[in-house]
Amino acid sequence: MANKSLNSEWYRSWFNSKYYHVLYKSRDDSEAKQFISKLDKKYNFSKKSKILDLCCGKGRHSFNLHELGYENIWGIDLSPNNIKSAKSNDIPGIQFDIHDMREVYNLNFFDLTLNLFTSFGYFDDQENLEVLKSANTNLKQNGTLILDYFNPHRTEASLKSNENITIDGIEFNISRYKEKDLLIKEIIINDKNEHENYFEEVKIIELDKFKLFFKESGFELIDTFGEYNLSPYHEKSSNRMIMVVKKTKEI
C-alpha cells in the first residue's frame, strides 16, 4: 500500500484526468436525473431560485435542474477539464467556473446548494469544516444545502478489496482499503503504452459527526435520506446518507 501522506492532493490530478470519466462512464445518469426530480417535487423550490452545483463535474446535475425549469444555476469545480466540458454545452441560465469549494464563491447569494455523489470529505477535518462554512457564507439566510454522502457503515461492511476492470481497452486495477479514518481507492491504469497511478481518498464521517460539523458551520439538519428515492436513512442498510440542512446563522 502507498503512503497516503504523499497523495494529499490526489483530487487535483484524478478528477482532471481523462481516465476518471472512462472509469465512471457507466454511472447511472437516469438515476441522477430521477434523484433531482424527486428533490424538486419534495421541496418545491422556486424555479427562480439561485442554485449552486458545488463540485459540478461536467455538469450533469446542473443540466438536470435546467430541464426541470430552473433558470439560475451556477456550477463550480476544481477541474479545468470538467469545466471546459461543461461550458461546451453553452446553455442559457447556467454558468460554470473553476473554483475551490473551500473558498467562498458568492457572498449570501444562493437559495440552494447541491453537493452530490460524495463530493465531500476529501480533506482533513478542519478543511472539511471550511467547506461547510464557505457553503454557509454562499447561501442566503434560511438557504438550503443538500449533501449526498456514502453511508460509512454499509460501505465498510461491503468493501470490495480488489477489482480488475477493462473499459474501452483500458485496464483498471483497483484496490480498496481502510487506513485510520480514510477509505482509500488506489487505481493503477494500463492503457497501451501508458501507465498511470491515481488515488481516491475520502474521510469516514458518520452521521453524528456530520451533525457536529453542521452545528459548527451554522446549519441545522432537517432531513436525512438513505437512497436516491428519498427513503429513510438506516445506518446498517442504506447505501447513501443524503442530508438536507438549513442555514440558521451567519459564520
pLDDT at 29: 79
Average of per-residue pLDDT across 7-16: 87
CA angle 25–10–55, rounded 5-degree value: 55
SS3 236: coil
pTM score of the predicted model: 0.93
Tens-place pLDDT, residues 193-231: 899 999 999 999 999 999 999 999 999 999 999 999 999
**What end-to-end distance do the CA atoms of the chain give, in Å?**
40
Query: Which is nearest to 183 in space by CA: 206, 198, 200?
Result: 200
Exposure class string for 203-242: b at 16+ Cβ within 10 A, else e:
bbbebeebbebbeebbbeeeebbbbbebeebeeeebebbb
Tens-place pLDDT, residues 85-139: 999 999 999 999 999 999 999 999 999 999 999 999 999 999 999 999 999 999 9
Do the Cβ atoms of 76 and 59 come closer than 8 Å? no
Average of per-residue pLDDT across 48-75: 97
Whether residue 27 is predicted with pLDDT greater than 90 in this model: the reply is: no
pLDDT confidence of 28, banded at 50, 70, 90?
low
Q: How far is CA 194 from the centre of its chain?
A: 29
Do the Cβ atoms of 197 and 187 come closer than 8 Å? yes
